[in-house]
Amino acid sequence: MSLDLRYVHKGLTKKGFKIEKEGKSDIYCRFYIDGEIMTPVRSKVGGHSRQKYKTLGDSLVNRIYKTLHFENKNQFIDFLECPFSKENYKKMLIMKGQLKID
């Protein structure tokens, strides 16, 4: 299943991610807490080519949901569409040992 690039970026930024460019063409999303505290949770969400892609292919969508520690693609899509809240995502990361909050 491919997803629209703008749809993914918009969904992630609503949930506390910031879209960051690294190098000349790589685009990553990184999870922030309260908009300020940078976490180690990040994933490549585009770039790697001069060509402007408007959709993310199935293999990139699979890599994104796995590196963001979702159980499956449907859980990732629920996160983008809002039923899966930012707070629930933060709790999931803590339970999986991917995020430590003092």
Amino acid at 14: K
Do the bridges between strand 26-33 and strand 37-46 make them parallel or antiparallel, or are there none, so unpaired?
Answer: antiparallel
Residue range 3-37, pLDDT digits in tens: 888 899 899 999 999 988 877 777 888 999 887 88
Quick one: tokens of 16? 């506390």
Single pTM value for the model = 0.79
Domain boundaries in the chain?
3-95
Residue range 31-77, pLDDT digits in tens: 998 878 888 898 888 765 545 668 888 888 999 999 999 999 999 99
d(CA 39, CA 28) in angstroms, rounded, equals 13
- Residue 23 CB: number of other CB atoms within 10 A? 8
- Distance (Å) of CA 102 to CA 28, 33, 37, 49, 86: 26, 12, 12, 39, 18
What residues contact residue 97 under an 8 Å CB cut-off, 6+ apart?
none
